Amino acid sequence: MTRRLTFAANWKMHHGPLAARAFIDRFLELVPPREGRELWVFPPAASLHVVADAARSRADVKPGAQNVYWEPKGAFTGELSVPIAREAGARGGLVGHSERRHVFGETDEDTRRKVLALLDGGLTPLLCVGEKLAERDEGRTEDVVLRQLRAGLGGLDPERVSRVMIAYEPVWAIGTGRNATPRDAAAVHAVIRAELGRLGATGRSTILYGGSVNLGNALSLLAEEELDGVLVGGASLEADAWAELVGIGA
Active site residues: 97, 169
For position 232 contacting ligand 13P by CB under 6 A, the verdict is: yes
**Span interacting with ligand 13P, options 48-56, 83-91, 143-151, 167-175, rule CB under 6 A:** 167-175
CA distance 110 to 118: 12
Counting beta carbons within 10 angstroms of the beta carbon of residue 183, is it exposed (0 to 12), middle (13 to 18) or buried (19 or more)? exposed
Contacts of 119 (CB under 8 A, 6+ apart): 125, 156, 160, 163, 164
Interacting residue with ligand 13P among 226, 233, 239, 242 (CB under 6 A):
233
**Span interacting with ligand 13P, options 22-30, 84-92, 146-154, 205-213, rule CB under 6 A:** 205-213
To ligand 13P, the closest distance from the beta carbon of 200 in angstroms equals 27
**Span interacting with ligand 13P, options 26-34, 45-53, 72-80, 204-212, rule CB under 6 A:** 204-212
Widest Cα–Cα separation across the chain: 50
For position 213 contacting ligand 13P by CB under 6 A, the verdict is: yes
Residue pair 70/109 in contact (Cβ under 8 Å)? The answer is no
For position 6 contacting ligand 13P by CB under 6 A, the verdict is: no
**Span interacting with ligand 13P, options 71-79, 84-92, 154-162, 168-176, rule CB under 6 A:** 168-176
Interacting residue with ligand 13P among 17, 154, 175, 200 (CB under 6 A):
175
Write the DSSP string, 3-53: PPEEEEEE--S---HHHHHHHHHHHHHH----TTEEEEEE--GGGHHHHHH
Count of positions on this chain that bind ligand 13P (CB under 6 A): 14
**Contacts (CB under 6 A) with ligand 13P, residues 22-61:** none
**Contacts (CB under 6 A) with ligand 13P, residues 58-77:** none
For position 93 contacting ligand 13P by CB under 6 A, the verdict is: no
CA distance 40 to 225: 20
Please say which residue, 194 or 248, places its beta carbon nearer to ligand 13P.
Answer: 248
Q: Report the candidate in 152, 59, 143, 66 with the shortest Cα–Cα distance to residue 111.
A: 152
Please say which residue, 67 or 212, places its beta carbon nearer to ligand 13P.
Answer: 212
Write the DSSP string, 142-199: HHHHHHHHHHHTTT--HHHHHH-EEEE--GGGTTSS----HHHHHHHHHHHHHHHHHT
Query: Measured in whole angstroms, how far is the alpha carbon of residue 61 from the centre of its chain?
Result: 14
Please say which residue, 158 or 165, places its beta carbon nearer to ligand 13P.
Answer: 165
For position 169 contacting ligand 13P by CB under 6 A, the verdict is: yes
Please say which residue, 8 or 119, places its beta carbon nearer to ligand 13P.
Answer: 8
User: How many CB atoms neighbour CB 14 within 10 A?
Assistant: 16
Residues that bind ligand 13P (CB under 6 A): 10, 97, 169, 174-175, 210-213, 231-235
